[in-house]
Structure 1
Amino acid sequence: MESVFSSKLHTNYVPSDAELEEIRLLLVAPEERVASMDRKMEEMRTAMKTLERQRWELSEVIEAHRALMSPIRRLPQDILREIFIYCLPTTHNAVMSNEEAPVLLTQVCSHWRLTALTTPRLWSSVHLPIAIPPRNQADEFDVEAFDKARVEGLRTWLQLSGACPLSISVSSGHAQTITPSSVRSLMDTLIAHSSRWENIKIVLPAGSPVWPLIMEISAADLPKLRNIAMEVRHDGWGIAAGHLELWNNGCTSVGLLEAQSLQEIDLLDAHANLVSMSVPWHQITTLKIQFSDFRTTGISMESALQILRHSPNLKTCALQLNETVWQVGVDSDSPAHLPALTDLSISEGTRADASLFFRRLDVPALRHVAYQKLKVSTQPGDGATPSPTALPTLLARAHNVESLLLDTSSLTSTDVLQYLSMTPQLKRLSFDVNDHPSWPRSRTSWIYGMYSPRLNRDTAVLTDTLLRGLMPNEDNASFLCPLLEVFESAEGYLSENELLNFVRARTDSNTPTFVPLEQRCRLKRVDVWFSEPAQINLKELLATQIVGGKLILNANYPIETPLHKSYSAWDGLPRIATVGRGHTEVRPAARRISARRGGGYW
């Protein structure tokens, strides 16, 4: 728009009265054009809304007809049921919530609801958390009404499962606010179907009123029970709130452990006199007995040996051995023959020596070993003297170990090198990794963190020196672990350059020609944690090995956090919280001029 005031625009020029009138007359025509444009735009918006409404209505009709052609409508009933089964959670039992299958499947349509409600396998597992009334909100939380609704819901759930074997898990937090009367109806409903229990997992505090109800069940009431897992939940400090008095030497019968179809036993912080019980050891395939407080608890080596002698079909075993000395009569040469045992996880107590225990094991099929030597930091005069590790005794009797998981906190480099020299068939080597099914769970307990020696560069086991022992070279033609495929480490002092050399030396394309064909390296996965920030790009330098899935590399580095907070111009001033647009800020308790038009204050 042409204007005689063009040179004055966007300046501090102050027009005179005559110029003000001239400006008003100059703006009449442009303002009329803008008003005309606004009217046209409004007409276009109205037309656009009409088109959008018509399009939506037409789309609704189209989608409704397309839904009629959906392939899932034509699926046979048996296939739809099978799909529903695959919708169930895989890491835990089904929960009584409409956020997951099977309840979620009943809320899609009437056809799906009917199909789900008439598919017993969908309801054959259930997780039952014991409700804990809030301590400070007892008046607002109607526990009786809540429990009554849950009992009815559980009863209906179990009825829908028909005659299917049941997988059940029961858990609760602290037991102080749970009374026997509040759980009796719930547990009675569950126990009424004990003849169909196949898998049961119980995670409760030692003082929970649920335990006595569970202990009342006899072995005759559990004809289908195959797997039992019991865990005594800890209090806020990680200490088991007492232990199960019923499981002491005074109790010689626990139905859950004497069921005649039982095959798997998993106990954590559950003190049971298993030797005196009528456990069907001849058919047990999985046995795990572990404790979180490794200082004073664990199964005695004498008891463990007696159990293993009666368990010829054992395939997986995880034991935490305490420091109990061998009793009279245990020195007999009678071995424990375990021809099917493939997985063995042993955690030696603070002063235990499992050498005699290992010497009595016959394990020809052993393939996977997890080993942990527990000891607390010793102080002068406390009487604690570190004992040598017993693992070599076991490895000398197991000649085909393919997987070795080690907790290095109580080991030396010499120990590890000795283990590796005794396992030429090793395919997986893991340091301080907690991902094996039979790895002792007490490794991550709060007590371990308090009492285990701190990692330092002088005593660290996993260093560049160890890596070099695993590399093939002309001076080391008989290098350690020639068949290694997986290398994992969660702690240690490895350098990136040495790991780079290690990976290059252990991949097919870089295997030296002097290495025999039957010993060609086949490294497939490397998962390590570094103690220092990244200095080089390992994935870029190993691109040739990674391309095509030949090698999976996971390099993890410490997260860098600033030592000090960011500088602020308000540091040192009293602060108050002020609410801004969509967020809350902390500002000094002084008035600030607002940026809003017209000025003002915060």
Structure 2
Amino acid sequence: MDHPISDSPFEHLLTTNVCPTDAEFDSVFASLVRPIERVSSLSTEITKLETSLHKLRSERECLTSYINAHKPILSPARRIPPEILATIFIHTLPCDRFPTRSVNESPLLLGRVCSLWRAVSLSIPELWNRLHIVIPSSADSNLLCQVLSARAKYVETWLSRSGALPISFSLYSYNWTQHAPAQDARETMISIIHTMMSSLLHFSKRWKQVDFRVPGIIYKLLREPIGSLTREDVPLLESFKVEFSTWGITDITEPEYFFGILQAPALRSVSFTGLCSKVSGMSLQWQNIQHMQFSSK
């Protein structure tokens, strides 16, 4: 039963400091006995209900955890056959460029979803036969050496997953002249780049599309190992592109230096930027060439 304060017979004492008479005191005291008992009873009942509510909530949380843990088992994605999953994964690759070593995009992103996806992605050669490699620039020579060393290792690891498929890659380097490394660091970086090139050359018989965009100083490191390739070393090569800046470099070799690679039997596209040459004097399989571009800029 409710007991509104406005219904109190002692309202005149509630809003003043008037001293109650003995009779009023006894009446007030007597009027509070049942409400006090009721409050005690309600408190006991509330405690019981709160205990029951706590038990119910605990049970609900336990059941919800069980349900949420088992729901993924019913996910349609888990029932997709690996061969279908592989096809889907292949379509996640970028179409307008080669994939990069970024954990935020395919194929590396796929391996971060779950162990099954990782196993499937690592078993699909089509996810690993294309790669964009960046040689960065940094004022911190030690950091740059560490980054280069890590990238040289992943080039080998990445391409080794490509099975027997043709390989396409692009190699881009920032201009080192903006942050010229110390001599000892430069020698270390040159050694690492040679290691990276050795990894790429290891797969030369499967090269399909090759794109180098580097400053002259990096080009000088690449031209000897690339120039040593023969037509037999690159039987699948269809596209060969070299673009570099000659800033600060004077002894740049003309495209004829790549005599062997330009004789590749499957070569269809050739592009050189930063090199000048007489087209008529180039040793190409002219009957196969469909695209050619030369620029001294």
What's the CA shift for 1:167? 0.8
- 1:207 — aligned with what? 217
Cα displacement (A) at 1:252: 5.8
TM-score under structure 1 normalisation?
Answer: 0.36
Q: Which residue of 1 aligns with 2:84?
A: 79
Q: Number of aligned pairs? A: 245
Question: What CA deviation, in whole Å up to 9, does each residue of 1:385-420 have, x standing for no partner?
Answer: xxxxxxxxxxxxxxxxxxxxxxxxxxxxxxxxxxxx
Offset of residue 192 of structure 1:
0.9
CA change 1:264–1:52 in 2 (3 A) is farther
Secondary structure of 1:168's match? strand
Give how far 1:52 is off: 7.7
1:188 aligns with 2:188: no
Q: Does the CA-based 8 Å contact 1:81-1:115 persist in structure 2?
A: yes
Query: Is 1:247 the counterpart of 2:254 in the alignment?
Result: yes
Alignment of 1:216-227 (within 5 A): 216-227=228-239
Normalising by structure 2, what TM-score?
A: 0.70
Judging changes above 3 Å, is the alpha-carbon distance between structure 1 residues 214 and 67 closer, same or farther for their aligned structure 2 residues? Answer: same
State yes or no: 1:261 paired with 2:261.
no
Q: 1:282 Cα shift? A: 1.1
Partners of 2:276 and 2:61 in 1: CA distance = 67
1:350-378 deviation per Cα after TM superposition (whole angstroms, max 9, x unaligned): xxxxxxxxxxxxxxxxxxxxxxxxxxxxx
Secondary structure of 1:128 counterpart: strand
| Deviation of the 1:97 alpha carbon | 2.6
1:518-537 aligned within 5 A: none
Q: Deviations over 1:154-191 (max 9, x none)?
A: 22212111111001110101134454323111110111
Shift of 1:271: 2.4
Give the unaligned 5+ runs of structure 2. 1-14, 18-46
Contact 1:123–1:160 (Cα < 8 Å) also in 2: yes
- Name the SS of the counterpart of 1:100 in structure 2: coil
How far has the Cα of 1:218 moved from its partner?
A: 2.5
Structure 1 contact 253–277 (Cα < 8 Å) conserved: no
For 1:112 and 1:97, locate their aligned partners in 2 and report how far apart those are by CA, in whole Å. 17
Aligned partner letter, 1:116? S
- Give the direction of change, closer, same or farther, for the CA distance of 1:217–1:48 in structure 2 (3 Å limit): farther
Counterparts in 2 of 1:137-536, with a 5 A limit?
137-139=140-142, 141=143, 143=145, 145-176=146-177, 177=181, 178-179=186-187, 180-208=190-218, 209-233=221-245, 240-242=247-249, 245-247=252-254, 251=256, 253-292=258-297
Aligned to 1:16: none
The one-letter code matched in structure 2 to 1:222 is V
Measured at CA, do residues 253 and 154 of structure 1 come closer, stay the same or move farther in structure 2, by a change above 3 Å? Answer: closer
Contact 2:129 2:168 (C-alpha < 8 Å) held by counterparts: yes
Compared CA separation, residues 223 and 83, structure 1 to 2 (3 A): same
Q: Partner of 1:394 in structure 2? A: none
* Cα distance between partner residues in 2 of 1:50 and 1:204: 68
SS, match of residue 98 in structure 2: coil
Equivalent-residue separation in structure 1 for 2:272 and 2:58 (angstroms):
64
- State the distance in 1 between where 2:56 and 2:293 align: 68
Deviation at 1:272, TM superposition (A): 3.5
For residues 54 and 24 of structure 1, what CA distance do their matches in structure 2 show?
52
Q: State the 1:284 CA deviation.
A: 1.4
More helix per residue: 1 or 2? 2
Classify 1:151/1:252 alpha carbon distance in 2 versus 1 (closer, same or farther; 3 Å).
Answer: closer
Give the C-alpha shift of residue 48 in structure 1: 10
SS of 2:195's partner is helix
**Structure 2 counterpart SS, 1:246:** coil
Which consecutive residues of structure 1, in runs of 5 or more, have no partner in the other structure?
A: 1-22, 26-42, 235-239, 293-602
Q: Secondary structure at the match of 1:224?
A: coil
Change (3 A) 1:271 1:57: farther
Q: What is the rounded CA distance, in whole Å, between the counterparts of 2:290 and 2:116 in structure 1?
A: 42
| 2: CA distance, partners of 1:252 / 1:152 | 28
1:93 to 66, 89, 98: 98
Pick the aligned partner of 2:71 from 66, 69, 80.
Answer: 66
* Distance verdict in 2 for CA 1:105–1:252, change over 3 Å: closer
Which residue identity does 1:226 align to in structure 2? E
- Write out per-residue CA displacement over residues 45-80 of structure 1, whole angstroms, 9 at most, x where no aligned residue: x99999887666544433333311112222222111
Instruction: Decide whether aligned partners of structure 1 residues 55 and 171 sit closer, same or farther in structure 2, where only a CA change above 3 A counts.
Output: farther
CA distance in 1, matches of 2:192, 2:241: 24
For residue 198 of structure 1, what is the amino acid of its counterpart?
A: K
Counterpart position of 1:386: none
- Distance 1:285-1:114 versus aligned 2 partners, 3 A rule: same
CA distance in 2, matches of 1:207, 1:252: 16
Quick one: percent identity of the two aligned structures? 28
User: Greater relative contact order: 1 or 2 (C-alpha under 8 angstroms, separation 6 or more)?
Assistant: 2
C-alpha displacement of 1:288: 2.6
RMSD of equivalent CA atoms? 3.4
The alpha carbon displacement at 1:213 in A equals 2.9
Amino acid at match of 2:242: M
Q: Is the 8 A contact 2:149 2:192 kept in 1?
A: no
CA contact (8 A) 1:243 1:271 kept: no
Aligned partner letter, 1:279: L
